[in-house]
Structure 1
Amino acid sequence: TFLEMAVFSFTTLLIGRISVEAVAAHQIAMNVGGLTFMLPMGVGMAAAIRVGYNVGAGDLSAARRSGWLAIGVAAGFAIFAAALVLLARAWIAAQYTPDVAVQALAVQLMFYVAVFQLFDDTQTTAIGSLRGFKDTRTPMWVALFAYWGVGFPVAAVLGLGLAGFPELGLEGFWIGLTVGLGVASVALVTRYRGLSRDAERIRRLAG
């Protein structure tokens, strides 16, 4: 989403204050995360179509199952991708650059990329499933709160050492981004659980 990409872009500008190597390692981590995100993003799009189709057909039970299936597939893939990234982190970093300093920083970030996967993959499929139920406002407000109200402040505080906290630098920024995504993922999955359950219950009572 725009709000998600905006917070990543703005965080990159702040990371530029650390060093050129930090920016390079950050971009490597972002690229690895982006590559593994492609499949779950497609699953999220498919979820929006499938859930929407079932909602239009009046089969809310099938719509609910379709959304949960998509979220489950994304979570399963995220676990696989996270394990792959962790096991091959040194090799992956070496494919991007011969600079040993950048490689070392990128390898450190791969742990956060792995955790990042689970949150990012589940939140994008939850968004798709919510769209199928015609709920587009909730993802917007969740993104605003999670990324700009939680993620970015935590990233800035830990990355720059504000408010008396120790300056963690590059890792601090990634902790903040991961926390923001975690909040978004939990909120969106919870919203989908409640919305799909209530919609099915109302339909049964009306029918």
Structure 2
Amino acid sequence: MNGVMEWNGVANMADSFPWLRWLDPQGLKRKMKKDLGKAIQIASKFVKERMEARGVGREKTRDFLDLLLEFEGNGIDEPDKISEHDLNIFYTGKWLFSSNLLDEIFMAGSETTSSTTEWAMTELLCNPETLMKAKAELTQVIGPNRKIEESDIDNLPYLQGIIKETLRLHPPVPLLLPRKAIDDTKFMGYFIPKDTQECVG
């Protein structure tokens, strides 16, 4: 996941010069395929093991993966079932994409959180006064012998401020993301032809 996040955050010359895309001058596509492939192998292993366990009648666990496997939609706005294909991967021949669900959970749900936590701790260690204020707030609201609960967050405004400032100083994802117009568009008086690539922040 560290590799995927790193390659995702590197400025890619091919975004500015699309004719270089086939050449992959920085090797970002190759590196991303390798690291994303490893992450997908791990995620698909979880799905396969769980499906096999359910097939032999073992006692069902009740976690998020089970809910995805048991999902039944209305077949109109959503699928009847989430297929194993959707839970794992698909390959277009040009680029390797992760599943809509599991890899997003692994990548977005863990890497961004751990990165933010690491930066918050780093900033607190570099600012002892702020660390002392945060400790005092936690002691006052939580006490010394209890673990923090989600319901406590509303009562910890100073800690919330620390997290917001950490996200401002060290955003876990790049702020400039390339976008491509899917149709001819008029925006704020400017004509943007189809397939024009823009960087937005």
Q: TM class by shorter-chain length?
A: under 0.3
Question: 1 or 2 for the larger relative contact order (CA 8 Å, sep ≥6)?
Answer: 1
TM-score by length of 2: 0.28
Which structure shows the higher strand fraction?
2
TM-score by length of 1: 0.27
Name the larger-Rg structure.
2
